[in-house]
């Protein structure tokens, strides 16, 4: 009996843990976007390269130390030497030819050219494992080879360092997909230590057709391969956390803004409905971007005032006064309040705008992106009082009219400005697409997907698969 009880507890524990992670695959792209250099720990400052047709280790100055990492599936990838990018040569190993380059297998049929990373006991350093043989890539100071035995020279560990994201290699504008029982919405993205963290709303359909809103996070190093989403908030229709808005640093911690959107009794078979009057805005705090505190209510109408009904919070530091913080939120357009401690707020004003406010500072001006019923508009202000529309929402619909998955709306835009990062050099726009039409309870709570686009100027946008109309 005791054994049965222990087995029961273990079963319950397993169910609890697995419920915190969504394990269905979000990746819809086959190839990778990353160009990398691969350093050998046993030879500091030396990088995997091909020089004069020979595989070996060389200094960074050798052009062929740059490799394209292209994903085969969730585990294995190809490495293509970028010395001659128009005449692709793929890194391979065989038992009879050793480690070299080949032009065969470029269609993805040659397992000898597939590799994966195996974590070592040192953070950031990995073993490189050959798919066909299961052996590890080794180096003895003279040559490369593969072996089952760890070489004594520091076990020959490797580090892959991103040099550039090649956005042209992304095959599909949908970078994360929902399914029949999950919708992915409201992306909020931050790029930290070469990693993209995408916070987003995850909508579940429960066993009894109940609709549950939560907030989760998924990570990617290349915008193609995303980790399973880790769920951060409870599954409770009376709370329904959703719409993460901003990630910022305050008082030594990360701050995530989000809303509650209660819809008790909401089911997929029911009529289309929205949250009740108890929807509010909140923040959570974290040391590591993955483990978060309990929610704290944002009393943006004043410390002693019930904030009332509102959604879509976004927190931004003042451009002129360090330590002063603005909170934008959706009520009567885009409203905004300020605070010096994120607890005591003073209401300051509003401007006409849609939902899902994203705010930033550029050229000594405040900018907001917002989403009305169609498109994503951009407004700017120098003084937080007078706002000018610089991008009409009708002009920023991307390819909505040709995307069945976004035919209802392309919305909830979130911009990451990486123009000054040589690895990217663009504004990145994350959004969600909702479709096909018409809008029903079932459609908006299943199959909603995340998309990506990029721009140099916020006016002209590109996306994977965009057709050249010139």
Closest C-alpha among 249, 376, 260, 417 to residue 317: 249
- List, as one string, the DSSP characters of 364-419: TEEEEEEE-SSS-EEEEESSSSS-EEEE-GGG--TTGGG-GGGSSEEEEEEEEE-T
In a domain, 44, yes or no: yes
Strand partners, 54: 51
Identify whether residues 377 and 242 lie together within a single domain. yes
CA gap 404, 402 in Å, rounded: 6
Q: What integer pLDDT is reported at residue 2 of this predicted model? A: 40
- Tell whether the model's pLDDT for residue 4 goes beyond 60: no
DSSP 8-state assignment for residue 194: T
- pLDDT (mean) for 125-134: 93
- Tell whether the model's pLDDT for residue 381 goes beyond 90: yes
The 10s digit of each residue's pLDDT in 214-250 is: 999 999 988 988 889 999 999 999 999 999 999 999 9
Q: What integer pLDDT is reported at residue 288 of this predicted model? A: 96
Identify whether residues 157 and 186 lie together within a single domain. no
Identify whether residues 127 and 267 lie together within a single domain. no
Question: Of residues 160 and 95, which shows the higher confidence score?
Answer: 160
Q: Residue 142: which residues within 8 A CB-CB, separation 6 or more?
A: none
Identify whether residues 185 and 299 lie together within a single domain. yes
Structure tokens given for 49 = 């390269």
The 10s digit of each residue's pLDDT in 82-118 is: 876 556 688 999 877 788 888 766 665 578 999 999 9
Q: Which domain holds residue 249?
A: 172-462
- Tell whether the model's pLDDT for residue 3 goes beyond 60: no
In a domain, 12, yes or no: no
Strand partners, 278: none
Identify whether residues 152 and 198 lie together within a single domain. no
CA gap 245, 259 in Å, rounded: 9
In a domain, 220, yes or no: yes
Identify whether residues 333 and 412 lie together within a single domain. yes
Identify whether residues 89 and 199 lie together within a single domain. no
- Tell whether the model's pLDDT for residue 51 goes beyond 80: no
CA-CA-CA-CA dihedral for 329, 334, 335, 339, to nearest 10:
50
In a domain, 446, yes or no: yes
Identify whether residues 455 and 409 lie together within a single domain. yes
Contact assessment for residue 176 and residue 223, using Cβ atoms and an 8 Å cutoff: no
- Tell whether the model's pLDDT for residue 399 goes beyond 80: yes
- pLDDT (mean) for 134-163: 83
What domain count does the chain have?
Answer: 2
In a domain, 3, yes or no: no
Q: What integer pLDDT is reported at residue 15 of this predicted model? A: 29
The SS3 assignment for 444 reads helix
Strand partners, 386: none
CA gap 254, 287 in Å, rounded: 6
**Phi and psi at residue 9, in whole multiples of 5°?**
-65, -40
Burial of 420 (0-12, 13-18, 19+ CB in 10 A): exposed
- Give the other-Cβ count within 10 Å of 351's Cβ: 21
In a domain, 19, yes or no: no
CATH of the domain at 375: 2.115.10.20
CA gap 328, 319 in Å, rounded: 15
Give the CA distances from residue 73 to residues 108, 184, 223, 414, 464, in Å, rounded to whole numbers and listed in that order: 11, 22, 14, 28, 19
**Phi and psi at residue 167, in whole multiples of 5°?**
-65, -25
**Phi and psi at residue 4, in whole multiples of 5°?**
-60, -40
Spell 241-272 as b/e; 16+ CB within 10 A means b: bbbbbbbbeeeeebbbbbbbbbbeebbbeeee
Identify whether residues 177 and 164 lie together within a single domain. no
Q: Looking at 168, 194, 212, which one is the last position of a domain?
A: 168
Structure tokens given for 299 = 């009393």
Question: Of residues 29 and 231, which shows the higher confidence score?
Answer: 231
Q: Looking at 137, 168, 199, which one is the last position of a domain?
A: 168
Identify whether residues 127 and 60 lie together within a single domain. yes
Instruction: Please provide the average confidence, as pLDDT, over all residues in the chain.
Output: 88
Closest C-alpha among 121, 118, 119, 120 to residue 129: 118
Identify whether residues 162 and 203 lie together within a single domain. no
In a domain, 85, yes or no: yes
> What pairing do the DSSP bridges indicate for beta strands 334-339 and 325-330?
antiparallel
Q: Looking at 152, 168, 184, which one is the last position of a domain?
A: 168
CATH of the domain at 141: 2.80.10.50
Identify whether residues 147 and 239 lie together within a single domain. no
Burial of 229 (0-12, 13-18, 19+ CB in 10 A): buried
Q: Residue 352: which residues within 8 A CB-CB, separation 6 or more?
A: 333, 334, 387
Q: Residue 101: which residues within 8 A CB-CB, separation 6 or more?
A: 50, 53, 55, 81, 89, 90, 91, 92
The 10s digit of each residue's pLDDT in 170-210 is: 889 999 999 888 999 999 999 999 899 999 999 999 888 99
Give the CA distances from residue 144 to residues 50, 77, 98, 154, in Å, rounded to whole numbers and listed in that order: 11, 19, 8, 15
The SS3 assignment for 298 reads coil
In a domain, 132, yes or no: yes
């Amino acid at each position: 009996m005791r054994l049965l009880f222990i087995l029961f507890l273990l079963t319950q524990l397993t169910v609890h843990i697995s419920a915190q992670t969504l394990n269905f695959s979000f990746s819809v792209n086959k190839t990778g976007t990353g160009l990398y250099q691969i350093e050998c720990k046993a030879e500091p400052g030396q990088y995997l390269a091909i020089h004069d047709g020979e595989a070996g280790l060389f200094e960074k100055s050798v052009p062929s130390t740059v490799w394209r990492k292209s994903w085969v599936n969730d585990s294995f990838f190809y490495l293509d030497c970028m010395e001659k990018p128009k005449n692709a040569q793929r890194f391979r190993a065989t038992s009879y030819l050793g480690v070299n380059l080949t032009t065969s297998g470029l269609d993805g049929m040659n397992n000898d050219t597939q590799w994966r990373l195996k974590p070592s006991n040192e953070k950031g350093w990995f073993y490189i494992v050959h798919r066909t043989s299961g052996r590890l890539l080794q180096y003895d100071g003279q040559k490369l080879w593969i072996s089952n035995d760890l070489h004594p020279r520091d076990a020959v560990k490797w580090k892959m360092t991103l040099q550039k994201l090649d956005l042209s290699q992304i095959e599909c504008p949908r970078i994360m997909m929902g399914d029949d029982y999950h919708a992915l919405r409201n992306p909020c993205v931050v790029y930290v230590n070469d990693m993209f963290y995408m916070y987003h709303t995850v909508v579940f359909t429960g066993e009894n057709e109940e609709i549950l809103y939560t907030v989760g996070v998924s990570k990617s190093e290349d915008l193609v391969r995303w980790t399973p989403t880790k769920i951060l908030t409870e599954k409770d229709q009376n709370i329904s956390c959703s719409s993460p808005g901003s990630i910022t640093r305050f008082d030594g911690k990360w701050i995530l803004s989000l809303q509650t959107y209660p819809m008790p009794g909401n089911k997929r078979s029911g009529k289309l409905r929205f949250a009740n009057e108890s929807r509010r805005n909140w923040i959570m705090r974290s040391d590591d971007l993955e483990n978060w505190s309990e929610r704290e209510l944002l009393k943006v109408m004043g410390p002693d005032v019930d904030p009332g009904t509102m959604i879509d919070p976004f927190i931004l530091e003042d451009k002129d006064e360090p330590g002063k913080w603005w909170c934008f939120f959706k009520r009567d357009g885009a409203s905004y309040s300020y605070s010096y401690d994120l607890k005591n707020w003073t209401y300051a004003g509003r401007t006409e705008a849609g939902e899902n406010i994203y705010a930033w500072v550029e050229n000594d001006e405040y900018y907001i992106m917002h989403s009305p019923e169609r498109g994503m508009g951009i407004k700017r202000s120098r003084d937080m009082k007078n706002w000018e529309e610089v991008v009409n929402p009708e002009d920023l619909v991307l390819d909505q009219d040709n995307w069945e998955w976004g035919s209802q709306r392309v919305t909830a835009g979130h911009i990451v400005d990486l123009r000054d990062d040589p690895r990217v050099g663009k504004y990145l726009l994350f959004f969600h697409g909702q479709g096909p039409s018409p809008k029903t309870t079932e459609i908006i709570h299943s199959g909603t997907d995340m998309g990506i686009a990029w721009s140099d100027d916020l006016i002209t946008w590109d996306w994977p698969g965009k057709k050249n109309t010139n």
